[in-house]
Amino acid sequence: MKKLTKGLIYLFFVVGAFISLYPFYWVFSLATHNTSEIVTQFAAVPGVHLWDNLLNLLKKGTFPRGLANSCFVSITATVSAVFFSMVCGYAFAKYQFKGKRFLFQMVLMTMMLPIQIGLVAFVKIMTALGLYNTYIPLIAQLGTAFGVFWMCQYIKAYVPDEMLESARIEGVGEIGLLLRIVVPVITPAIISYGIIYFVGSWNSYLMPLIILQDTGKFTLPMVIAALQGRFELDLGIRYLALALATLPLLILYLTFSKTVRESIVAGALKG
Amino acid sequence: MAEKLYKKRTRQYPAWIPYLFIAPFFIGFAFFNGAPVLYSFYISLTKWSGFDLPEFVGLNNYKMLIKDELFYTALRNTAQIILIFIPLMILFGLIISYLLYSSYVKRESLFQNIFFLPYITIPVAVGAIFQAMLNWQYGLANKMLLGLNLIREPINWLNEPKYTAWIIGLMITWQSVGYCVIMITAGFRGISREVFESARVDGAGNARTFFNIALPLLKPVLVFLIITSMIWGFQIFDETVILYSPKGGVPSGGPSYSALTLVSYLYISAFTDQYTGYGASIGYALSVIIIGCTLVMRRILEGRKGAEE
C-alpha cells in the first residue's frame, strides 16, 4: 500500500513535469521542421531544417532587430528604475524631512492603482509631447512605488545609522555615502529588484503596443506577436522565432534560478 | 520624542538633500502616472474621436457603459477566466508543494524549476505556444486526439466560443502553477517542522495534518496569492490577445467575443476604434472594479481569519 501511494505520487509528478515541459519541447521541435512537415507530421522528434529556418528568419531581419530593441529597452529601463528607486528609498529610510510620512503614504497608495486607469491619457500626453513612437516613455523610469518601498525597507533593516554617522564624520559627502557605503550593503536588494523589474519590462506587451508604431522599433514580444499572424505563412520561421524568443529568459532563469526564485518570493511577500 | 531630538541634534546634512533624492521619483510619478490618471478622468467625460477636439458630455460615457452588452461580455469572460484559473492554480500549487515539502518526492528544486519555467516565459509566447498546440490543422491537441482515435474530425478549438473560457483558464493555470508552488513552499518553510512532527506523534493522519495544521498556517500566503492573482486576472491581456489574434497581436475578441477581456475591450475601444473618451471610461470602470473586488475579497478572506483567532 505504501509503495503504491509512493508510486502514484511519483507518477503525478512525472505527468506534471511532462505537461510543464512538453509544450516547450514541441515548439523547439517545430522550429527544426519546414512548413509541410509541420502540417503533416507529429514533430515528436527534431527535424533537419533548423539551419534553413534560421537563415530565413535572419533574412527577414525583424527578429534580431526585436531582440536588440528589447535588450536596449529593458536594460536601460531597469538600470534607471533601480537607481532612482534606490535613491528615493534611501531618502525615506535614512533622512528626516518635512512631509516624509505623508509622501511615503502616497508612495504606498499608488501601489494600488492599476496601470489601465491612466492608459488612454498616457498615450495622448506622450503624443502631445512628441514622444509617441519613441522609446522614451518605455525607458524613462524614474523609479516605481514598489521599488521605493522595497529599497526603503531593506536599507532600514541592513544599514545601521552609526555606519553613516561615522562616514560623515570622516568627511564623506551625501552622494558618496549612498554610492560607497550604502550600495555595497544593499547589493542583494538591488539584484532582486533588478531581476523583478527586468523580467516585467522584458515581458511587457501592452505598453510598447500602444507607444511604438514603426516595425523597426518593435520589442521582442511585439515581433513574436506579429509573426504569429495569418500573414506569416512559413511555419518553420514562425516557430523558430517563438522558440528563440523563449530562450533568453529561460537561460537567465536556469543560470540564476535560486536568486530569481528567492527574489520573486521576497518581492511578493514584502510588497 | 527622544529619538526626534537626537536626530535633530545630529543632523549633519543640508535640509534639501532628501528632497533632491526623492525628487526624481515624484516628478516621474506625477508625469507618467499622476497626470495621465487625472487627465484620463477628464477624457472619460468627453466624446473624442482622437483627432478633433474633445467635446464635454458629462457622465454620458458611463451611462453608455452600464448599458453596453459588450462591456458585460468582457466582464463575464474575465470573471470566468479568474474563477477557473485561481482555484486550479491554488489546488495544484498546494498539492505539489505539500508533497515536495513532506519529502514524499526527492529533488525538490528540480521539480520547482520545471514547474516554474512556464511562469518565466514571455506571456505573449505563452499565448503563441497555446495557439500552436490548439491549431486545428497541425496542433498538438488534435494530432494527439486523432492519433488516439478519440475524435474523428479535427476540432477547431480556437473557433468555438464554448471552449474559450476553459482554454484560457487552463493556459493561465499552466503558466502560474509554478509560481504558486514556490510561494507556497516558502510558506511551508516558515512553519517549523516540529509542528508537523508533533502532530504526527499525536496520531494525526496525513489528511488531518494537512487540513488542520498546514492549511491554517498557510493562510497568509494563500490570501496573498488569491488577491494578487485576482487583480492580475482582471488585467489579463497579452496571452489571450495572441491566442485569439488573427492578425498578429492586435486584440480581436475571439469567436463571438468569447475571448474579449476587459483590457482588450479597453484597447479596442480606445485605440482600434478611436473612441478615446469611451476607452478612458472603461479604464476607470476597470480600476473601480479591481479596487472594489480587492477590498471585498480582503474583507472576506482576512475577516474570517480574524473570527477564527
Please enumerate in sequence order all residues whose Cβ is within 8 A of that of A248, keeping only pairs 6 or more positions apart, or say none. A67, A202
A59 class by beta-carbon count within 10 Å (0-12 exposed, 13-18 middle, 19+ buried) = exposed
* Residue A45, C-alpha cell as written in the block: 522528434
- Please name the amino acid found at residue A29: S
Instruction: Give contacts of B92 with chain A, Cβ < 8 Å.
Output: 16
Terminal-residue alpha carbon distance, chain B: 35
- pLDDT of B8 strictly over 80: no
- Please name the amino acid found at residue B191: I
C-alpha to C-alpha distance for A134 and A127, rounded to whole angstroms: 10
Q: Comparing B283 with B107, which gets the higher pLDDT?
A: B283
C-alpha to C-alpha distance for B109 and A195, rounded to whole angstroms: 19
What pLDDT, on the 0 to 100 scale, is given for residue B240? 93
Beta-carbon count within 10 A of B154 CB: 16
What pLDDT, on the 0 to 100 scale, is given for residue A212? 95
Instruction: Give contacts of B221 with chain A, Cβ < 8 Å.
Output: 269
Please enumerate in sequence order all residues whose Cβ is within 8 A of that of A207, keeping only pairs 6 or more positions apart, or say none. A115, A137, A138
What is the 3-state secondary structure of B131-167? HHHHCCCCCHHHHHHHHCCCCCCCCCHHHCHHHHHHH
Longest dimension (CA), chain B: 84
Burial track B9-26 (b if 16+ CB lie within 10 A, e otherwise): eeeeeeeeebbebbbbbb
What pLDDT, on the 0 to 100 scale, is given for residue A269? 65
Mean pLDDT of chain A: 90
Q: What is the pLDDT of residues B58-85, one digit of tens each?
A: 999 999 999 999 999 999 999 999 999 9
What pLDDT, on the 0 to 100 scale, is given for residue B182? 92
C-alpha to C-alpha distance for A150 and A270, rounded to whole angstroms: 7
What pLDDT, on the 0 to 100 scale, is given for residue B91? 96
Q: What is the pLDDT of residues B281-299, one digit of tens each?
A: 999 999 999 999 999 999 9
CA distance B175 to chain A (A): 8
Please enumerate in sequence order all residues whose Cβ is within 8 A of that of B149, keeping only pairs 6 or more positions apart, or say none. none
Please enumerate in sequence order all residues whose Cβ is within 8 A of that of A87, keeping only pairs 6 or more positions apart, or say none. A143, A178, B21, B22, B24, B25
Contact A141, A80 (CB under 8 A): yes
Does B248 sit within 8 Å of A232, measured CB to CB? yes
Listed ranges A223-227, A228-232, B189-193, B269-273; the one with the highest mean pLDDT: B269-273
C-alpha to C-alpha distance for B187 and B37, rounded to whole angstroms: 36
Mean pLDDT on A186-206: 92
C-alpha to C-alpha distance for A251 and A262, rounded to whole angstroms: 17
CA distance A217 to chain B (A): 16
CA distance B155 to chain A (A): 15
Q: What angle do CA A238, A239, A242 make, to 5 degrees?
A: 95
* Residue B193, C-alpha cell as written in the block: 517542522
CA distance A219 to chain B (A): 12
C-alpha to C-alpha distance for B14 and B193, rounded to whole angstroms: 51
Instruction: Give contacts of A10 with chain B, Cβ < 8 Å.
Output: 105
What pLDDT, on the 0 to 100 scale, is given for residue B206? 74
Q: What is the ipTM of this complex?
A: 0.92
- pLDDT of B9 strictly over 90: no
C-alpha to C-alpha distance for B112 and A168, rounded to whole angstroms: 46
C-alpha to C-alpha distance for B32 and A126, rounded to whole angstroms: 9
Mean pLDDT on A172-196: 91
Does A124 sit within 8 Å of B43, measured CB to CB? yes
What pLDDT, on the 0 to 100 scale, is given for residue A226? 87
- Please give the residue of chain A at the shortest CA–CA distance from B238: A205
Mean pLDDT on B263-292: 94
Does A6 sit within 8 Å of B104, measured CB to CB? yes
Beta-carbon count within 10 A of A105 CB: 10
DSSP state of B258: T
| CA neighbor of A51 nearest in space, from A250, A223, A240, A226 | A240
Q: What is the pLDDT of residues A79-106, one digit of tens each?
A: 999 999 999 999 999 999 999 999 999 9
Does A125 sit within 8 Å of B132, measured CB to CB? no
Cα Rg, chain B, nearest whole Å: 25
What pLDDT, on the 0 to 100 scale, is given for residue A263? 83
What pLDDT, on the 0 to 100 scale, is given for residue B137? 86
Give CA B130 to chain center in angstroms.
18
- Please give the residue of chain B at the shortest CA–CA distance from A141: B28
Residue B28: band (very low, low, confident or very high) from pLDDT cuts 50, 70, 90: very high
What pLDDT, on the 0 to 100 scale, is given for residue B1? 43
DSSP state of B246: S
- Residues in chain A, how many? 271
Tally the C-alpha atoms within 13 A of residue B136's C-alpha that lie toward its C-beta. 9
Residue A2: band (very low, low, confident or very high) from pLDDT cuts 50, 70, 90: confident
Query: Which of A117, A134, A181 would best serve as a mutation to test chain B binding (most B beta carbons within 10 A)?
Result: A117
Instruction: Give contacts of B28 with chain A, Cβ < 8 Å.
Output: 84, 140-143
**Considering the entire predicted model, what is its pTM?**
0.91
What pLDDT, on the 0 to 100 scale, is given for residue B247? 66
Instruction: Report the residue from B137, B276, B290 with minimal CB separation from A120.
Output: B276
Which backbone phi and psi does A199 adopt, to 5 degrees?
A: -60, -45
Instruction: Report the residue from B13, B125, B283 with minimal CB separation from A117.
Output: B283
- pLDDT of B306 strictly over 50: no
| CA neighbor of A210 nearest in space, from B125, B52, B259, B274 | B274
Q: What is the pLDDT of residues B113-156, one digit of tens each?
A: 999 999 999 999 999 999 999 998 889 999 999 989 998 899 99
The 3-state DSSP class for residue B172 equals helix
Instruction: Report the residue from A91, A116, A232 with minimal CB separation from B22.
Output: A91
What pLDDT, on the 0 to 100 scale, is given for residue A201? 94
* Residue B3, C-alpha cell as written in the block: 529619538
C-alpha to C-alpha distance for A85 and B26, rounded to whole angstroms: 10
Does A97 sit within 8 Å of B117, measured CB to CB? no
What pLDDT, on the 0 to 100 scale, is given for residue A234? 84
Q: Comparing A93 with A1, which gets the higher pLDDT?
A: A93
- pLDDT of A261 strictly over 90: no
Q: What is the pLDDT of residues A102-128, one digit of tens each?
A: 999 999 988 888 888 999 999 999 999
Residue that the C-alpha cell 545609522 belongs to: A161
Considering Cα of A90, then A91, then A92, then A93, what sign does the dihedral take?
positive
Contact B261, B236 (CB under 8 A): yes
Mean pLDDT on B81-108: 90
Instruction: Report the residue from A30, A145, A253 with minimal CB separation from B120.
Output: A253
C-alpha to C-alpha distance for B63 and B47, rounded to whole angstroms: 13
Considering Cα of A231, then A237, then A240, then A246, what sign does the dihedral take?
negative
C-alpha to C-alpha distance for A75 and B34, rounded to whole angstroms: 25
Residue A267: band (very low, low, confident or very high) from pLDDT cuts 50, 70, 90: confident
Beta-carbon count within 10 A of A169 CB: 9
- pLDDT of A56 strictly over 60: yes
| CA neighbor of A209 nearest in space, from A121, A128, A119 | A119
C-alpha to C-alpha distance for A216 and A132, rounded to whole angstroms: 14
Contact B171, B126 (CB under 8 A): yes
Lowest mean pLDDT among A142-146, B63-67, B206-210: B206-210
What pLDDT, on the 0 to 100 scale, is given for residue A270? 57
What pLDDT, on the 0 to 100 scale, is given for residue B5? 47
Mean pLDDT on A175-180: 91
- pLDDT of A134 strictly over 90: yes
What pLDDT, on the 0 to 100 scale, is given for residue B11? 59
